Chains A and B, each alone.
Chain A
């Protein structure tokens, strides 16, 4: 016999002292929870607020299986110190060696960049410089080569005005090269990404 009471949404067992506590009931509850979580379309893959200043912040995503997701969104809400000495924020994929093909439709050439997107540094203190990276196109692991499409949106308050910069690009991966890290830094080596900056990654499940 299952428990006397049930939870409202998944009808999970809520035992009272006189109820028998059975392994079958516990296993059934775990199956319901697993199925419910698997059906949630959006997964939070990383959410970290930094506790120290540093010139660069790396998000180590080597443990994430991106083939389970049709789209990834990386949100960096960045503060810098000192103010006024850096103009741009950059987001990189797999370090600076990962060349990103810029694909603005108006350009006849396709320049290579070491960054996946960029935005502006806020001119006042606060989490008002945001750089978002959107990635789509993760294939099955058996694909020999594949493209990941990129869209970045950089937003900030700069000298009293709201600035936004959109960037479109793509990255060619070999099958044996994993998406392993995102890095964030400014254009000035003397500038730190300040403690209290927040980094989030969300995935849309296939």
Chain B
């Protein structure tokens, strides 16, 4: 799939580019199993 990526650099510049990534690029979400912090 094609995704939009913003590339940021130390000099403060940023640019948007399109990038082809594998279908499984976005990680699977670990389960939320613990209690929220107080």
Contacts and interface: CB of A to CB of B under 8 A. Distances in A.
Given A52-B6, A87-B29, A187-B26, 12 more contacts: A48-B14, A50-B14, A54-B5, A54-B6, A55-B5, A60-B7, A60-B9, A60-B10, A113-B27, A163-B32, A185-B26, A187-B29
Interface of A is mostly: strand
Interface stretch (A1-9, A30-38, A114-122, A133-141): A114-122
Q: Which 5 pairs across A and B sit closest by C-beta, in order of nearness?
A: A161-B36, A48-B8, A187-B29, A54-B6, A54-B4
B10 A45 contact: yes
18 contacts: A46-B8, A46-B10, A48-B8, A48-B12, A48-B14, A56-B19, A58-B6, A63-B10, A96-B25, A113-B27, A162-B36, A162-B37, A164-B37, A185-B26, A187-B27, A187-B29, A193-B6, A199-B8
A163 B14 contact: no
Contacts of B29: 87-88, 187
A192 B10 CA distance: 22
A189 B36 contact: no
Contact-residue bracket for chain A:
35 or more
Interface SS, B side: loop
Interface residues of B, number: 26
Contacts, number: 90
Interface string B4-38: 11111110101010010110011111101010111
Interface of B: 1, 3-10, 12, 14, 16, 19, 21-22, 25-30, 32, 34, 36-38
Contact of B10 (A55, A61, A162, A163): A61
B33 to A, nearest CB: 10
A51 B14 contact: yes
A164 B12 CA distance: 29
A188 B26 contact: yes
Contacts of B36: 158, 161-164
